Amino acid sequence: MKMTPLDIRQKRFEVSLRGYSKKEVEAFLELTAGEFEEVVRENISLKEELKRTLTRLEQHVEREKTLQETMVTAQRISEEVKAQARKESEVIIAEAELQAEKIVAGANARLVELVKDLNELKRQKVQFEAQLATLIDSHKKLLETFRTPERGDVAFLVKKSGE
């Protein structure tokens, strides 16, 4: 059974011969009741403070849980962003490599074309030189033919002029 300050104040003892002084017992009971009342008030106050503290603790625990969830989410998002950036960089690199391969292939094709053209020009030069040499030789022979007349040619020329 719980005792209250009122129980202490209302407690009465039987009077007996040679018992305790009634005034002292009542004074002590009043003092005890007052102290007990203070302890009860303090106890109530501490219980209320404990409730507030527990409420605040629950709020802090909830905040901590939310912060942990936020941190996990932020870490997950960070990893996703990194992975996405990595994928994008790989795509950009692949596109750049493909573009570079196209440029190199185009340059190689142009080089092959230029080498072909150069070879064709060399061939045409050799052919032109041969044709020119042949033409020069034929003109030389023609010149020689006109420079050294044959005997029959002179007689023919003399006959024509004397006729």
Q: What is the pLDDT of residues 10-59, one digit of tens each?
A: 877 777 777 777 788 888 888 888 888 899 899 999 999 999 999 999 99
Q: d(Cα 84, Cα 87) in Å, to the nearest integer?
A: 5
Question: Do 29 and 11 touch, CB atoms closer than 8 A?
Answer: yes
* pLDDT score at 118: 96
What 8-state DSSP symbol labels residue 17? T
Would you say the pTM of this structure is higher than 0.75? no
CA dist 147 → 105, 136, 144 (Å): 62, 16, 5
Question: Do 33 and 9 touch, CB atoms closer than 8 A?
Answer: yes
Q: d(Cα 94, Cα 133) in Å, to the nearest integer?
A: 57
List, for residues 52-82, the tens digit of each pLDDT value. Answer: 999 999 999 999 999 999 999 999 999 999 9
Q: d(Cα 29, Cα 7) in Å, to the nearest integer?
A: 10
